[in-house]
Amino acid sequence: MTNETVVVAKLRAAPGQADTLAALLVEQAACVRQNEPGCLVYRVHRSAGDPDVFLFYEVYVDDAAFDAHRSSAHLAEYRKRRDSQGLVEGPADVQVFRSITE
């Protein structure tokens, strides 16, 4: 068994804001990968059936690495930009999982 922390989150763009949100998410994903050595995977996906829906798949080496992500300055800045520009509709649906297999 590993100690990896896996995060799956869904986010819906505000009406008419999906492309702008997508661009911000691409920027944020690059920032996370560049600045968080404890983040093994940070992928953002866009729904093929509903282009306003985005899915995050994130893998961290452990809970401490996920905590570092949640308290990072770049995540706070992303949220500030996202919210000040009105890019999302409602809160993100975030679920945290622990690996039970290798």
Q: How far apart are CA 65 and CA 37, in angstroms?
A: 8
Q: Which residues share a beta bridge with 34?
A: none
Per the model's pLDDT, the better-predicted residue between 98 and 16 turns out to be: 16
Residue-wise pLDDT tens digits, 63-81: 999 999 999 999 999 999 9
pLDDT band at 31 (very low <50, low <70, confident <90, very high): very high
What secondary structure, in 3-state letters, does 37-95 show? CCEEEEEEEECCCCCCEEEEEEEECCHHHHHHHHCCHHHHHHHHHHHHCCCECCCCEEE
Check: CB of residue 7 under 8 Å from CB of residue 62.
no
Which pTM was predicted? 0.92
The CATH architecture assigned to 5-98 reads 2-Layer Sandwich (3.30)
Q: Mean pLDDT over residues 24-42, rounded?
A: 97
Percentage with pLDDT > 70 across the chain: 99
